[in-house]
Amino acid sequence: MEAYPIKLSYHVRSYAFGDRRIPELLGKRGVPGGVVAETWEISDYRETTGRVLNGPYAGRTLHDLVEEFPDELVGKGWRGPHFPILCKFLDASRMLPVHLHAGDETAKRKYGEPNGKTEAWHILWAAEGATVLAGVREGVSREELREAFLARDYDAVMVRRGIESGDTVYVPGGVLHSFGPDTLVFEVQQTSDLGVSVMPEDLYGRPLGEEEWRANIEAALEELEPDPRPVPNPGLPLEEGDNRRVLCCAGPHFALERWTLAAAHREPPHPRRCLTLSNVGGGEVALEHAGGTEVLGRAESCLLPASIGAVRVVPEGEASLVACYVPDLQRDVIAPLREAGRSDEEIRGLGEVGL
């Protein structure tokens, strides 16, 4: 494989909860007019798989490359049906539906899918007083949940917490959740689009019939995991100084870091895992590698193949990036944080780290 920073076409969803914050606040170019609720920056989900925009593989799909170069692209020894993570910008100018995504076991048993959908929201911008709903209150019965959903009284049975820019919320599959209004997030998730809502409208705001709405509620109650109650977390610093790296969340499916760079940063080789980078700052970032240089503009994303070797990340002024990867939890998360003096309790707060 010819390894270089791979840019991909992005997929747009115009759900009713969105508006224009992705182009207006992040500066993303080329988006269509009207509502832009989500841009799927790195995706290998079925028909949304990205198409390569640059370099020798221009015109080919991400799925093509995953199938042909699993070791060189994703990581030595990796095998799977699709690229393992999906990264998106999400504009919750309005409240998202209250919904959940199937966990791995439910996805396989009920839907015949290879995996479910655990996700995390990294808060890029939130208005003062913004909140998330995530998880159900302890001791709430199935009947109380059903009654609350039919009454649209979600606060009666769910946990609401405040959020700020820089927080991250790790949401395992099966956890009931919503957020918005007035929130802009970067989301990383398992590659899946399974989901069931308990609200009487669909994602585009169209009303559902009574029978369909009630059937969705019953499906959600069947798939619900009642115990996880996600808590927004500011993350744990891995590096301080001119350049700051914060480990924001971690679990078996993905880890997310936020990088704030005032000087060049050398990202060492990672032959066992690839890395996605999304530029969420105000200027361009140069990615220097053995084969040349690629520039990442505002609100652009790319994939650094596992075989690319060292990459020098050079900011234009101060840069802000989100980096995602599938971690080896002991090597990439637990060991470096323990070395930095972090307690196991702090590390557990990042998600599902196996401690």
pLDDT tens-place string over residues 39-89: 999 999 999 999 999 999 999 999 999 999 999 999 999 999 999 999 999
Average pLDDT over residues 228-255: 96
Partners of 136 in the β-ladder: 158
According to CATH, the superfamily of the domain at 236-348 is Jelly Rolls (2.60.120.10)
* Residues 6-25: tens digit of each pLDDT: 999 999 999 999 999 999 99
Cα angle: 214, vertex 218, 221; to 5 degrees: 140
Report the distance separating Cα 142 and Cα 162, nearest Å.
26
For residue 217, pLDDT over 90 is answered with: yes
Report the distance separating Cα 129 and Cα 179, nearest Å.
12
Average pLDDT over residues 96-125: 98
The DSSP code sequence of 200-221 is SB-TTSPBPPHHHHHHHHHHHH
Report the distance separating Cα 332 and Cα 242, nearest Å.
22
| Annotated binding-site members for Zn(2+) | 101, 119, 177
Q: 10 Å Cβ neighbour count for 243?
A: 18
- Banded pLDDT at 125 (limits 50, 70, 90): very high
DSSP label of 77: T
According to CATH, the superfamily of the domain at 95-223 is Jelly Rolls (2.60.120.10)
Partners of 177 in the β-ladder: 99, 134
Taking CB atoms within 8 Å and a gap of at least 24, the contacts of 211-217 are: 214/150, 217/146, 217/149, 217/150
Average pLDDT over residues 296-311: 98
Average pLDDT over residues 297-309: 98
For residue 240, pLDDT over 90 is answered with: no
Average pLDDT over residues 242-265: 97
> Given this model, what pLDDT does residue 239 score?
87
Report the distance separating Cα 239 and Cα 233, nearest Å.
17
| Annotated binding-site members | 101, 119, 177
Which phi and psi angles does 330 have, rounded to 5°?
-70, -50
**Percentage of the residues of the chain whose pLDDT score is greater than 70:** 100
Domain ranges of the chain: 95-223, 236-348
> Given this model, what pLDDT does residue 12 score?
98
- Banded pLDDT at 326 (limits 50, 70, 90): very high
> Given this model, what pLDDT does residue 260 score?
98
Whether the domain at 95-223 and the domain at 236-348 fall into the same CATH topology? yes
